[in-house]
Amino acid sequence: MSELIVSKFGGSSVATATQIKKVREIVADNPNRRIVVVSAPGRSQASEQKITDHLFNIATDGAHFHEQRINIPVVDSKRAVVERFRQILADLELSDDTLLDSLRADLECKLTGERRIAFLASRGEHYNARVIAAHFSQSGMAAEACLPEDFGFVVSEQFLDAKLLNDAYGNVQRLAETTCSECIAVIPGFYGITPAGEVAVFSRGGSDLTGGEIAKGVDAASYENWTDVSGVFEADPRIVSEARAIPRLTFKEIRLLSSKGFNVFHLNAMLPCKERKIPINIRNTNSPQDPGTVILSERVPEEEAIVGVARLDNVAYIYLEKDMLGEEIGFTAELLGILRDFNIQTFHFPTDKDDIAVLVNQDDLTGAINDLRRQIEAKLKPDEMDVVYNLSILTPVGLGLQGNSYPIVDALSALGKAHIPIAMIDQSPSQICFHIGVQQSVADDALKILYRTLIG
Ligand SMILES: Nc1ncnc2c1ncn2[C@@H]1O[C@H](COP(=O)(O)OP(=O)(O)O)[C@@H](O)[C@H]1O
Ligand SMILES: N[C@@H](CC(=O)OP(=O)(O)O)C(=O)O
């Protein structure tokens, strides 16, 4: 293991010149912070959009915001992107007109389809890394922007959901041995380069993934993930105001929490670190003295039996009834196969003798539900089929749940006392979490009740 610390700064940490100056202080504070991964500028105030969203809007000719019922035309998105970078450069007293010219030219890119979306979406990280490296250098800190296209951060040709290719790790190691011995490497997150030299992006929030993969590539001593909260909170702090930062979590626990709605850290970003047992530290750029949350291989379960309660919205429930379906070998496989062909993400599938339900990502049903119904009816011939929308899944997670059913009893009776109807219950195979489905309209109340009953 090297002494290197990989420090990823999220969009909120690099949204303005003021934030970027805080980043510089944090990097300067520890000589082992030699690799800095940066996101595109995030929101600098609640009324603003993230630069990446403006870029998706430009790439999709306005469809990106239109789908969210936000009225921002492409010309305004272009103006917002250029203006934000112009402001950051001016506030950092960097006079680099070529950078803005190059950005303007990139925004007029002539690529089409997914290649166009990926290229444009990557520009926020690309230009921010160049700006931040220039600021570090100008303020007397040796630094260089190290771009995926230059050092070979090679990814698959899935342009909007790229996966890192094995060759990238060797290239990352070489980068560490050369550049990092002389200066700080500032790497843009979120995108990589295909073997054919084209830009491909990870899924949304993918700068966390870049950080995790770089940490694996250099066998880092630690992967710091700097954001705008002092760690992973026991529940979404915007809903449960008394939730506190969790001091320690295992890789398994963060995986379950992230996959069920804790979007502070990308679901897959822990995987490369878990493989090499690299601790992850989630920290607050605005409060760097706070220890944050440490994510590691093991912890003593007794310290916090249940660490958090996650919440996943926009879940739908496809229900099929057919006499003896439980005896038809391959019925479930066929149903899941149809959902796979429609690219619909599934979460749970409780089954019984004569019926089955599959919980799915409801957004994936948009535009597909009628065709999906037809396919299911034609192939599986159910007696009845029903789709229930707008569910939330609430998921308490903790190593202390293993072999301990009391929290499940407590959770259900607390929801019962509050007259909150339960649409679904399910215990995970690992027994370190369980899932309760409720209507989205009561999910805030249900989350608060579960938090107070099980943790608070
Ligand atoms: N359980 C949680 N713990 C901490 N933050 C959470 C949690 N659930 C949701 N969040 C939200 O995640 C945000 C940080 O993630 P994100 O916006 O992606 O940050 P960044 O800009 O640093 O990438 C926080 O501001 C917080 O509102
Ligand atoms: N900027 C990209 C990638 C990313 O990770 O951003 P952030 O660190 O702000 O979540 C996005 O918005 O998806």
Q: Say which residue the tokens 């010149």 belong to.
A: 17
Between 68-82, 152-166, 191-205, 319-333, the lowest mean confidence (pLDDT) is in: 319-333
All residues at 6 or more sequence positions from 149 whose CB lies less than 8 Å from its CB, including other chains: 193, 197, 199
| DSSP three-state, residue 422 | coil
Q: What is the pLDDT of residues 169-181, one digit of tens each?
A: 999 999 999 988 8
Q: Do 319 and 222 belong to one domain?
A: no
What is the per-residue burial (b if ≥16 Cβ within 10 Å, else e) of 45-82? eeeebbbbbbbbbbbbebebbeeeeeebebebbbebbb
> d(Cα 52, Cα 122) in Å, to the nearest integer?
8
Residues 4-15: what's their mean pLDDT?
A: 98
The enclosing domain of 194 has a CATH number of 3.40.1160.10
Q: Do 42 and 130 belong to one domain?
A: yes
Q: Do 93 and 204 belong to one domain?
A: yes
Q: Do 201 and 318 belong to one domain?
A: no
Q: Do 219 and 312 belong to one domain?
A: no
Asked if residues 164 and 154 have their Cβ atoms less than 8 Å apart, the reply is: yes
Residue finishing a domain among 208, 228, 248:
228
Atom index in ligand 2 nearest the CA of residue 124 equals: 1
User: Does position 223 have pLDDT exceeding 90, yes or no?
Assistant: yes
Q: What is the pLDDT of residue 242?
A: 96
Into how many domains does the chain fold?
Answer: 2
Domain assignment of residue 185, yes or no: yes
At 281, give phi and psi (nearest 5°). Answer: -125, 115
* DSSP conformational letter for 224: E
Q: What is the pLDDT of residue 188?
A: 98
Q: Which ligand is nearest to the CA of 121?
A: 2
Atom index in ligand 2 nearest the CA of residue 202 equals: 3
Reported as a pLDDT band with limits 50, 70 and 90, residue 300 is confident
| DSSP three-state, residue 391 | strand
Q: Which DSSP string corresponds to 218-267?
A: TT-SEEEEEESSSS-BSS-TTT-TT--B-SEEEHHHHHHHHHTT-TTS-T
Distance 165 CA to ligand 1 centre (A): 28
Q: Which ligand is nearest to the CA of 224?
A: 1
Q: Do 214 and 104 belong to one domain?
A: yes
Atom index in ligand 1 nearest the CA of residue 205 equals: 18
Domain assignment of residue 282, yes or no: no
User: Does position 350 have pLDDT exceeding 90, yes or no?
Assistant: no
Domain assignment of residue 450, yes or no: yes
- CA 284, 39, 37, 114 dihedral sign is positive
* Pocket flag, ligand 1, residue 254 (CB < 6 Å): no
* Pocket flag, ligand 2, residue 407 (CB < 6 Å): no
Q: Do 221 and 352 belong to one domain?
A: no
What is the rounded average pLDDT for all residues in the chain?
95
Question: pTM for this one?
Answer: 0.94
Atom index in ligand 1 nearest the CA of residue 235 equals: 1
Q: Do 338 and 449 belong to one domain?
A: yes
Residue finishing a domain among 228, 263, 282:
228
Reported as a pLDDT band with limits 50, 70 and 90, residue 364 is very high
* Pocket flag, ligand 2, residue 190 (CB < 6 Å): yes
Distance of CA 408 to the CA centre of its chain: 28
* Pocket flag, ligand 1, residue 264 (CB < 6 Å): yes
* Pocket flag, ligand 2, residue 205 (CB < 6 Å): yes
Atom index in ligand 1 nearest the CA of residue 233 equals: 3
Domain assignment of residue 203, yes or no: yes
Q: Do 54 and 191 belong to one domain?
A: yes
Q: Of the residues 123, 190, 208, 223, which should be mutated to test ligand 2's pocket, given the most ligand atoms within 8 Å of the CB? A: 190
Interstrand relation of 143-145 and 33-38 (parallel, antiparallel or unpaired)? unpaired
Q: What is the pLDDT of residues 272-294, one digit of tens each?
A: 999 999 999 999 999 999 999 99
At 80, give phi and psi (nearest 5°). Answer: -65, -40
CA distances from 364 to 66, 162, 221, 279, 343 (A): 17, 19, 39, 34, 7
Quick one: what percent of the chain has pLDDT higher than 90?
90
> d(Cα 191, Cα 146) in Å, to the nearest integer?
12
Q: What is the pLDDT of residues 108-163, one digit of tens each?
A: 999 999 999 999 999 999 999 999 999 999 999 999 999 999 999 999 999 999 99
- CA 167, 182, 288, 51 dihedral sign is negative
* Pocket flag, ligand 1, residue 42 (CB < 6 Å): yes
Q: What is the pLDDT of residue 195?
A: 98
Q: What is the pLDDT of residue 96?
A: 74
Domain assignment of residue 254, yes or no: no
Distance 390 CA to ligand 1 centre (A): 23
Domain assignment of residue 434, yes or no: yes
Atom index in ligand 1 nearest the CA of residue 238 equals: 27
Residue finishing a domain among 172, 207, 228:
228
Q: Do 324 and 450 belong to one domain?
A: yes
Reported as a pLDDT band with limits 50, 70 and 90, residue 201 is very high
Other CB atoms closer than 10 Å to residue 259's CB: what's the count? Answer: 16
Q: What is the pLDDT of residue 2?
A: 82
353 is written with which tokens? 């003798």
| DSSP three-state, residue 405 | coil
Q: Which ligand is nearest to the CA of 64?
A: 2
144 is written with which tokens? 């260089």
Identify the bridge partners of residue 197 per DSSP, sorted by sequence position: none
Q: What is the pLDDT of residue 304?
A: 78
Quick one: what percent of the chain has pLDDT higher than 70?
100
Identify the bridge partners of residue 224 per DSSP, sorted by sequence position: 7, 281
Identify the bridge partners of residue 296 per DSSP, sorted by sequence position: 250
Q: Which residue range(s) make up the domain with 391?
A: 308-454
Atom index in ligand 2 nearest the CA of residue 40 equals: 1
Interstrand relation of 280-284 and 191-193 (parallel, antiparallel or unpaired)? unpaired
The enclosing domain of 380 has a CATH number of 3.30.2130.10
Interstrand relation of 199-201 and 191-193 (parallel, antiparallel or unpaired)? antiparallel
Interstrand relation of 222-227 and 280-284 (parallel, antiparallel or unpaired)? parallel
Reported as a pLDDT band with limits 50, 70 and 90, residue 351 is confident
User: Does position 1 have pLDDT exceeding 80, yes or no?
Assistant: no
Q: Do 42 and 175 belong to one domain?
A: yes
* Pocket flag, ligand 1, residue 246 (CB < 6 Å): no
Q: Do 183 and 326 belong to one domain?
A: no
Q: Which DSSP string corresponds to 61-77?
A: TTHHHHHTT----HHHH
Reported as a pLDDT band with limits 50, 70 and 90, residue 92 is very high
Return the half-sphere exposure (C-beta side, CA atoms, 13 A cut-off) of residue 42.
17
Asked if residues 352 and 325 have their Cβ atoms less than 8 Å apart, the reply is: no
> d(Cα 82, Cα 321) in Å, to the nearest integer?
55
Q: What is the pLDDT of residue 293?
A: 98
Domain assignment of residue 199, yes or no: yes
Q: What is the pLDDT of residues 43-70, one digit of tens each?
A: 989 999 999 999 999 999 999 999 999 9
Q: What is the pLDDT of residue 348?
A: 84
User: Does position 9 have pLDDT exceeding 80, yes or no?
Assistant: yes
Distance 43 CA to ligand 2 centre (A): 11
Identify residue 78 by its one-letter amino acid code. Answer: K
Q: What is the pLDDT of residues 372-390, one digit of tens each?
A: 999 999 999 999 999 999 9
Distance 18 CA to ligand 1 centre (A): 20
Domain assignment of residue 163, yes or no: yes
> d(Cα 447, Cα 456) in Å, to the nearest integer?
12
Return the half-sphere exposure (C-beta side, CA atoms, 13 A cut-off) of residue 315.
29
User: Does position 228 have pLDDT exceeding 90, yes or no?
Assistant: yes
